Structure 1
């Protein structure tokens, strides 16, 4: 067995301590990785993989390293790739070390424990989530260590977990080692399993009491939610293992109930493009980008949180709207507040870094600047009338923070260096001892200058120079031609190519005094700075309160500015279950089209207009219409004005969307499977206070299956869920529902026909349409004219063959020709809406393919009356045929549902085949 070096023995000991983390091991000017860690680092960081000495088995050890000064450039890549990273630093001066330099793991960084500014998105939270499940309930916490925000709740285990995670989008989630059932809900999140003991009730209680104090924990009521308390305790324990120096800025746990806020699950957030656009999954073009006119990172995070958690309480919504309206109506005050907030910096994260002991001198100057602006902001709020602004005025009073700002102003230079090791941080005049040392250093520099001048005169060497470097200290340098004139008391120090360097006892003595003073100056500056930072950290809780209030102030100003610049109006709130708007617009499209967007009206209520069936061609704007309604409701419930000329909105508890189609190849789910999964969630979770938006449900399967499913879903939402819904569809048969379901109304997207062309008017009008204009859209898309012409021929043939004619008490279709057959649905609850109430299916076109692209080669032609006589041949069982006809005649079409009709139809087809002698 090969013997390894003491250095590698030290490395392997550290690696064992940090477990599954990648270990960055400081060696001089580099952080090195070894073995499997080196292979990962080389791949993720795109750096060279090499090798060094052999391990105990004699194998070469892979090696990859990065310069220590470039750590902040490489670290985000490792953590962003989902890796836990342990930083092992040299904790003693190598020059003073006896033998091996002492090293310690000083920080363990994971995606959810980041406090480093270079690794954080400025206007977004970076949450660490903790989840524990027991007895059908789930405890959940979200902790942002970079700001100190700590939220906790409990949920019933009915699928709500994924919705909460979708809102907060945690960077990392910890679960007990034994967790099983909840893992499926954590897909797409970086998950770390920790020991079950971290989630134990007793352990969590002890951790919470130790950090916050028993009195505070009791006051917040967190122990009344035992699973939430366990999640909170596990989060704090996990942070402790990351070796962040201090966590005093985490000063409160805010317990919330999901019932207080509108639920927006991942599907809805994606379909409405709330935080990211669908195509690129970036912020560009999202609703959040549109409304985020904030001036500070804290304001941006506040506005994001409001958008994540729209309010349900009308009283709270009105409170926000009052504040927004007051600033909207006072442009001078609004502009002055925006100016006062601009450039304030990220106060929440500065406080966090101050608490954690990582704040820089520049951070403290930013803190001072923010505190000094508070009086101006309070002055601008003088005369405010709304409760929201009056409350902010009180919360922003500067109080004892004035002393913190004054301390920083007296102590810290106006333009300090980024770090504290190189000096130049503390002002002259702040500390007498430091001033004395600096005086000595200035005198030493003057003494050196005088000595150089005197030695030149004494020796006659005009080129003599007194210099300094880190290796040899102070020296006297003489060029080679003048070496003969060097006095005998000079002591040779170093030989150069062009001359010699010397020292004298007097110079050596001064060197020791100067270097000692420099060392003491640096250490004293560091001591003074740490004391000042500690004073600021002592006021951390008060500064946090101001930071929170400033974020809310910024959000109010941003929403008021948005309303003024985009022509938004204040919505009225009602408790009638009504959503009515005149001139509703999609805010983002309206802005991008610069006046070209066509506004539309909408009226939804809990009675006669609670289910709208929307028909019309593709590209006419059905999806946009539905999205703009949902966006307006969300904006209203965060306290924002809305894009309309008038709006009255009843708060909803949840918005469901089924818009667009996509495959999830990684999980093996097809478009239709995903669609049905999302529909199932809607049908089991929606309430009468929900807003449901469905677009082309059922189009992912065969025409008849799809229509049957869409019909049944519509009935279920109308009859049982009773929520407000808009159902956009190309199944024109569904428009019959308006005839016998009292809450259903038909609307369509208006189209103007001009010969073979159509003009999309983008206007929603009452009534149904029986055309989809698919061929026109194909032509607009550039489909070759020959294909378009052939499509028109096929459509005319289909329409001619699919006519239903009333014949007394029976309905019979014209018999289809040999190349085109049509499956005609029985009329549902026949004709309650007036007229014949006919339902037409999709015809089979040449080649056995439906107009929707589905294989339909097995569809037979069956009508609602007796089969034509010519289909019988001699020898067949005519009695069986007569019995079948009689059953069809006796069927009560007024009570049969579409699903039952399909089942009956399938049974009749089977029996007909048997009569025909088919297997």
Structure 2
């Protein structure tokens, strides 16, 4: 076995301690990686892979390194690639080390344990989730170590977990090693399986009581939620292994109930583009981008949280609306408040870094600036009338924080360096000892300048120079032509190409005094800064409370500014289960179209207008209409004004969407399978207080399969779920539900026909349409003219040959449903096949002409006795002019036809 160096022996010992983490090992001015870690680092960071001495087996060891000062640039790439990273630092001065420099692992970084500002998204939380399941219930916590926010809840195992995870979007999730695979699949890819013991109840209670206190745990109600407590305990235990110096900024666990907030699952968040657009998965074009007019990162996070968790309580929504309306109505005060917040920085994260012991001098100056603005903000809220603004004013009182601002202002330079090692952080006059040392340094530097002038005069060497470097310290440099004039007391130290360097005993004595003073000055400045930072950290909880209040204040200002700039109105809230809006607009499209958007009215209620069937051509705006209703409801329930001329909204408990389609090829699921999975979720979890938006359900299979499924889904939602729903479809047969089900109403997207062209009016009007205008859309899309012309010929042939005949319904015990024969478009061997609605979107199953219940058209009558009479009756029905029939005439005719078909004895 080959012998390895003491340094590599130290490295392998550290690597064993950090387990599965990628180890960055500090060696001088570089962080080095070795072995498999080096191969990973070279690939992910695109740096050179080399090798050094051999390992114990005699093999060359791969090596890759990065400059220590570039760590902030490279570290985020490793963490984003999914790697746990351990940082091993030199913890003693190499100049003072006897033998091998002492090193320790000072930080272990994973996606959910980041506190470094360069690795965090400024306006978003970075949550570490923790999940434990037992007995059909789930304990769940979300902890953002960068701000100190800690949330916890318990859920029933009924599908709510995925919704909660979709809302908070944790960057990392902890689960027990024994967790069911289903749980692991739900929480996503960034999963850390940790020991089951970390989730034990006894261990969690002990850890939580040690970090907080028993009385606080009882006050928060965490002791009554054992699963939530276990999830919280596991999160704290995991953080303790990350080597964050202290977690004292995590000062509270807030218990929340999912039932207090609207449920927005991942499908709805995606389809409505709440936080990211569907195409690029970026913020651009999302609802959040539209409303985020905040001035601070903390305000952006507060507003994001409101959007993640829309309120259900009408009282709480009204309180938020009152606050927004008060600022909306007072533009001068609103502008002054926004100006007071501008440039404040991220106070929440600054105080977290302060209490964790990693805040920089610039962080403390930003902390001071934020505190000093509090009195002005409180003054601007002096005459507040709404309850929310009054509460915010009380929470923003400066209190004892003035002492923190005064201390920082007295101690820290106005423009300090980012680090504390190089000095220049502490003001003159703050510490007498430091002032004395600095005076000595100034005198020493002045002495050296005087010495240079005096030696030039004494020796007559005009080019004589006194210099300094890290190797030789201070020296006197003389050029080669002047060496003959060098005094005999000069001691030669170094020969150069162009001259010589010398020292004198007097110069070395002054060097020792200056360097000793310089070293003492740097260490004293560091000591003083750490003490100042520690004193500020003692007020961490009070600063956190003000930071949270400032974030909420910023969110209120943003929503009020949005209402003023975009022409939004305050919605009324009702308890009648109604969603009624006049001139409703899609917020993002309306803003981008600069007045070109066509507004529409909508009325949904819990009675005769709770299920709207929406028909009309593609590109006419059906999906936009549905989305704008959902977005208006969400805006109203976060306390925002809405884009309409009038709005009366009853809060909903959940919004379900089945809008658009996509294939999930990685999981082997087709568009239709995903569609049916989402529909199954809707039918399982929707309630009478839910808003359901369905677009083209059933189109991924054959025409009559799809129609049958769509019909059955519509009946289920109407009869059992009884929620408010909008069902956009090209299955025009579904419009007949309006005549069968009491809560169904038909609406369509109006179009104007001009010859062979159509104009989409983008207006929703009452009534059904029986045309999809697919050929017109194909023409608009640029399909070649000859193809469009041929399509029109085929369409005319289909319309002429297609026959839709009613099926007899002798099975009276069965619920009424659609009664159609499949359209026979083409004759051929075997009797023909294919079909669907004209210009329909479905695919034929090619199984010949059968009705939806499987009976062939030839069985319209049981025998031939009445075929002639029936044929005569059908001709009579065809010749009827329905426009001339009154309702009573129609009923009389229907009664007569039934008598003639059935006969007096009830037989065919």
Structure 1 length-normalised TM: 0.91
Determine whether 1:856 maps to 2:845.
yes
> Is the 1:579–1:648 contact (alpha carbons within 8 Å) kept by the matching residues of 2?
yes
Residue 826 of structure 1 contacts residue 864 of structure 1 at CA under 8 Å; is this kept in 2? no
Query: Is contact 1:107-1:243 (8 Å) kept?
Result: yes
Question: Is 1:217 paired with 2:206?
Answer: no
User: Are the equivalent residues in 1 in contact too, given 2:137–2:156 (CA < 8 A)?
Assistant: yes
Q: 1:242 to 1:868 in 2, by over 3 A?
A: closer
Structure 1 spans left out of the alignment, 5+ residues: 812-824, 832-836, 873-878, 890-919
**Contact 2:184-2:191 within 8 A present in 1 as well:** no
1:293 equivalenced with 2:282 (yes/no):
no
CA distance in 1, matches of 2:266, 2:323: 30
Question: What is the match of residue 22 of structure 1?
Answer: 22
1:436 maps onto 2:436 in alignment: yes
- CA gap of 1:868–1:528, structure 2 versus 1, over 3 A, is closer
Counterpart Cα distance in 1 of 2:678 and 2:853: 35
1:216 shift after superposition: 1.0
Conservation of the 8 A alpha-carbon contact between 1:827 and 1:838: no
Corresponding position of 2:121: 121
Give me the whole-angstrom Cα distance separating, in 1, the residues matched to 2:224 and 2:857. 74
1:714-753 aligned at under 5 Å gives the runs 714-753=714-753
Residue equivalent to 1:137: 137
User: Take 2:59 and 2:404, find their aligned partners in 1: how far apart are those partners?
Assistant: 58
The answer to whether the aligner puts 1:658 opposite 2:650 as a matched pair is no
Structure 1 SS opposite 2:277: coil
Query: Match for residue 348 of structure 1?
Result: 348
Q: In structure 2, what is the Cα distance between the partners aligned to 1:542 and 1:866?
A: 76
Contact residue 827 and residue 839 of structure 1 kept, 8 A: no
User: For residue 525 of structure 1, what is the aligned residue in structure 2?
Assistant: 525
- Aligned match of 1:603: 603
Aligned partners of 1:733 and 1:840 also within 8 Å: no
Cα-Cα RMSD: 2.4
3-state SS of paired residue (2:576):
coil
Q: CA deviation at 1:717?
A: 0.4
Which whole-Å deviations, capped at 9, do the CAs of 1:516-537 have from their partners, x for residues lacking one? Answer: 0000000000011001100110
Q: 1:31 to 1:533 in 2, by over 3 A?
A: same
Note the alpha carbon deviations across 1:336-369, whole angstroms, 9 max, x for none: 1111110000000000000111100000000000
Q: After superposition, give the CA deviation of every residue in 1:599-634 in whole Å (9 maximum; x if it has no partner).
A: 000100111111100000000000000000000000
Q: Which residue of 2 aligns with 1:228?
A: 228
CA distance in 1: counterparts of 2:437 and 2:618, whole angstroms: 80
| 1:858 Cα deviation from its structure 2 partner | 2.0
How big is the shift at 1:803?
3.0
Partner Cα distance (1:862, 1:683) in 2:
26
Give per-residue Cα distances to partners, 1:554-592, cap 9 Å, x unaligned. 000000000000000000001111100000000000000
Q: Which residue of 1 aligns with 2:589?
A: 589
Looking at structure 2, the residues matched to 428 and 867 of structure 1 have their Cα atoms a distance apart, in angstroms, of 99
Partner of 1:52: 52
C-alpha spacing 1:719/1:484, structure 2 compared with 1 (3 Å): same
Shift of 1:299: 0.1
1:676-825 aligned at under 5 Å gives the runs 676-804=676-804
1:327 Cα offset (Å): 0.3
Q: How far, CA to CA, are the matches of 2:219 and 2:590 in structure 1?
A: 48
Partner of 1:645: 645
Q: Is the 8 Å Cα contact of residues 153 and 257 (structure 2) preserved in structure 1? A: yes
Asked if the contact 1:810–1:865 (Cα under 8 Å) also holds between the matched residues in 2, the reply is no
Is the Cα contact below 8 Å between 1:675 and 1:697 reproduced in 2? yes
Gap change, CA 1:759 and 1:249, over 3 Å in 2: same
Q: Distance in 2 between matches of 1:713 and 1:198?
A: 45
Is 1:272 matched with 2:272? yes
Q: Distance in 1 between matches of 2:785 and 2:309?
A: 51
Encode CA deviations 1:830-856: one digit per residue, 9 max, x unaligned. 79xxxxx87575655699665546353
Q: Distance in 2 between matches of 1:810 and 1:266?
A: 45
Q: Which residue of 2 aligns with 1:92?
A: 92
1:161/1:185 contact within 8 Å kept: no
- Cα pair distance change 1:715/1:560, threshold 3 Å: same
CA distance in 2 between counterparts of 1:134 and 1:175 reads 12
Q: Return the alpha-carbon distance in structure 2 between the equivalents of residues 413 and 663 of structure 1.
A: 58
**Whole-Å Cα distance in 2 between the matches of residues 637 and 555 of structure 1?**
14
Residues 866 and 63 of structure 1: is their aligned pair in 2 closer, same or farther, counting only changes over 3 Å? Answer: closer
Residues 366-765 of structure 1 aligned to structure 2 (within 5 Å): 366-765=366-765
Q: Secondary structure at the match of 1:23?
A: strand
Partner secondary structure for residue 655 of structure 1 = strand
2:359 alignment partner, SS class: coil
1:13-64 deviation digits (Å, cap 9, x = unpaired): 1111001100011111111111111111111111111222222222222111
Once residues 445 and 538 of structure 2 are traced to their aligned partners in structure 1, the CA distance between those partners, rounded to angstroms, is: 39
> 1:646, 1:180 → 2: CA distance?
49
Residues 827 and 632 of structure 1, relative CA distance in 2, 3 Å threshold: farther
Separation in 2 of the partners of 1:60 and 1:253?
A: 51
Which residue of structure 2 aligns with residue 36 of structure 1?
Answer: 36
Q: Do the aligned partners of 1:826 and 1:839 also contact (CA within 8 Å) in 2? A: no
The 3 A distance-change label for structure 1 pair 738 and 503 is same
CA distance in 2, matches of 1:415, 1:168: 38
Post-superposition offset of 1:798: 1.6
Looking at structure 2, the residues matched to 846 and 202 of structure 1 have their Cα atoms a distance apart, in angstroms, of 76
Distance, in Å, in 2 between the alignment partners of 1:23 and 1:330 is 56
Distance 1:865 1:172 in 2: 52
Per-residue CA deviation, residues 156-187 of structure 1 (Å, 9 max, x unaligned), is 11111110000000010011111124435435
CA contact (8 A) 1:844 1:856 kept: no
Given the superposition, is the C-alpha separation of residues 319 and 313 from structure 1 closer, same or farther in structure 2, using an over 3 Å criterion?
Answer: same
SS state at 1:598 partner: coil
- Measured in 2, the distance between the counterparts of 1:693 and 1:536 equals 52
The offset of 1:258, in angstroms, is: 0.1
Counterpart of 1:822?
none
Give 1:460 shift: 2.1
SS of 2:108's equivalent in the other structure is strand
Contact 2:270–2:278 (CA<8 Å) still a contact in 1?
A: yes
Question: Using the alignment, how far apart are the partners of 2:693 and 2:203 within structure 1?
Answer: 45
Asked if structure 2 preserves the Cα contact closer than 8 Å seen for 1:372 and 1:405, the reply is yes
Give unmatched runs, 5+ long, in structure 2: 872-908
Q: 1:712 to 1:132 in 2, by over 3 A?
A: same
Per the TM alignment, residue 328 of structure 1 is displaced from its structure 2 partner at its CA by 0.3
Change (3 A) 1:527 1:761: same
User: Once the 2 structures are TM-superposed, how far is the Cα of residue 857 of structure 1 from its aligned partner?
Assistant: 2.5
8 Å CA contact retained: 2:821, 2:851: no
Cα distance in 2, alignment partners of residues 883 and 223 from structure 1: 80
Could you list the per-position Cα deviations for residues 242-281 of structure 1 after superposition, in whole angstroms to 9, with x for gaps in the alignment?
Answer: 0000111110000000000000000000000000000000
Superposed CA deviations along residues 766-805 of structure 1, whole A, max 9, x for unmatched, are 1111111111111111111111111112222222222346
SS of the residue aligned with 2:130? strand
> Deviations along 1:103-131, whole A, 9 cap, x unmatched?
11000000000001100000000000000
Tell whether the 8 Å contact from 1:417 to 1:425 is kept in structure 2 after alignment: yes
TM-score norm. by structure 2 comes to 0.92
Give, in whole Å, the separation in 1 of the partners of 2:356 and 2:854.
82
Distance in 1 (CA, whole Å) between partners of 2:286 and 2:625 is 17
- Count of residues paired in the alignment: 860
